[in-house]
Amino acid sequence: MIFEVSHKTVYHYTAPVAQAHHLLHLAPRPHERQRIIRHSLLVEPAPAARNDFLDYFGNPAASIAIENHHSELLIHSRGVIEVTPPPPIDFAASRPWNEVAAELAPAKKPYDIDVVQYLMPSPQIALTQGLIDFARPSFAPGRPILECAADLTKRIHEEFTYDNAATDVATTIEEVLEIRGGVCQDFAHVLIGAMRAFCLPARYVSGYLLTRPPEGKEKLVGADASHAWVSVWAPGIGWVDFDPTNDVIPQDKHVTIAYGRDFQDVSPVTGVLLGGGTHQIEVAVDVVPALAANG
C-alpha cells in the first residue's frame, strides 16, 4: 500500500509568543517494511533555525526555533509512504516467555542495548503491582511470548473502553487500569507495561492508520488522529507489532512514525515558549491511499 499522509497542527495563543523552541517527531521512520517516497514539513511562521537529525532511538526528528512574535503556529507534515505487510508468524513457535525472561535477568546472557532498553520502566510506564496483577493471567508457565502478547492485546481490547475524554497525557497506568478506559496511547502503555512486568521487552510505536477503510470494512479506532501500538520482542523472530486498541496485528494499514519507551519519547510536538498565555490546539490527520488521493 502507498499512502498520502497529512498531519496538520495549529496552535492558537491568547497572547503573543515572543520566542519558541519545539522538538518534532512528525517524519515517518524508514524500516524494512516501510519506504519513504517523499516527506515535507511546513512551519509558519518560518523558523529562524531548523535542525533535522536522528534521535537516540533512531527516529527522524527536527528541532525548530521561532523568534518572530506570533499568535498562531502552523505545523504541517505531509508525506507519501509505501508500507508492505509482515510475513506470516506462528505465535506458537516463539520461545516460552519464562525462559527468555530468565535469560534477560541481571547477570544472565547479555543482549543488545536495542533490546534491553525497552525492558526497563520508563517515565510514563511504572511497573506497579496493579499492572502485574492484571497481566498475570496471560502468562502461564511455558506459554510462547507472542501468544502472551496476543492474549493481552485481546484482553485490553475487550475489557477497556475507548474514551478520548477519560484520560490525558498525565494519566497514570494505575488510573487507566482502574477506570478501564482511555485512548490508544493508554492501551499501548498498558500492553508495554504488562510485558515489561514479566521481564520481556516491548516498545511504543507512534504512527497513523488508514483513514478510509476498504469498501465494506469498518474504520478502525484511531483513524483521523495520531495512533499508537506496540512492538514486542521475541528471540529468533524479532519485533512483532500488536494493536490493542483494535485487537489486530498491524499489516499494511499502519504507518510508523517513531519508536520509543513510551509516548514521552515520541510526542509529535513538544516545546517551550516565551509568552503565549493559554492556547488551543487543532489537529487534523488524514491518511488515504495514494491513488485515491490523486483521484
Contact 116, 106 (CB under 8 A): no
Are 46 and 180 in a shared domain?
Answer: no
Dist. CA 236–CA 96, nearest whole Å: 12
The phi and psi torsions of 206 (rounded to 5 degrees) equal -100, 150
pLDDT at position 105 is: 75
Are 53 and 34 in a shared domain?
Answer: yes
Nearest one of 162, 170, 156, 223 to 6, comparing CA atoms:
223
pLDDT over threshold 80, residue 107? no
* pLDDT tens profile 260-284: 999 999 999 999 999 988 999 999 8
* pLDDT tens profile 45-58: 999 999 999 999 99
Are 243 and 287 in a shared domain?
Answer: no
* pLDDT tens profile 1-57: 899 999 999 999 999 999 999 999 999 999 999 999 999 999 999 999 999 999 999
The phi and psi torsions of 219 (rounded to 5 degrees) equal -70, 135
pLDDT over threshold 50, residue 293? no
Are 148 and 201 in a shared domain?
Answer: yes
pLDDT over threshold 50, residue 295? no
Are 238 and 180 in a shared domain?
Answer: yes
Are 30 and 112 in a shared domain?
Answer: no
Judged by DSSP in three states, 82 sits in strand
| Dihedral sign from CA coordinates of 220, 221, 226, 232 | negative
Dist. CA 62–CA 27, nearest whole Å: 9
Binned at pLDDT 50, 70 and 90, residue 67 comes out as very high
Amino acid at 263: F
Are 257 and 276 in a shared domain?
Answer: no
Are 100 and 62 in a shared domain?
Answer: no
Domains in the chain, number: 2
* pLDDT tens profile 153-184: 999 999 999 998 888 888 899 999 999 999 99
Range of the domain at 278: 2-84+267-293
* pLDDT tens profile 197-233: 999 999 999 999 986 666 677 666 555 678 999 999 9
pLDDT at position 5 is: 93
Are 108 and 228 in a shared domain?
Answer: yes
The phi and psi torsions of 29 (rounded to 5 degrees) equal -95, 125
Pairing mode, strands 34-44 and 70-83: antiparallel
Are 76 and 132 in a shared domain?
Answer: no
Contact 30, 71 (CB under 8 A): no
Nearest one of 127, 114, 117 to 172, comparing CA atoms:
127
Maximum pairwise Cα distance, the chain: 61
Are 114 and 206 in a shared domain?
Answer: yes
Are 186 and 253 in a shared domain?
Answer: yes
Q: Scanning the structure block, which residue is given the C-alpha cell 501500538?
A: 229
Cell numbers at 215, concatenated: 469498501
pLDDT at position 170 is: 84
Pairing mode, strands 202-209 and 269-275: unpaired
pLDDT over threshold 90, residue 83? yes
Nearest one of 142, 144, 171, 173 to 156, comparing CA atoms:
173
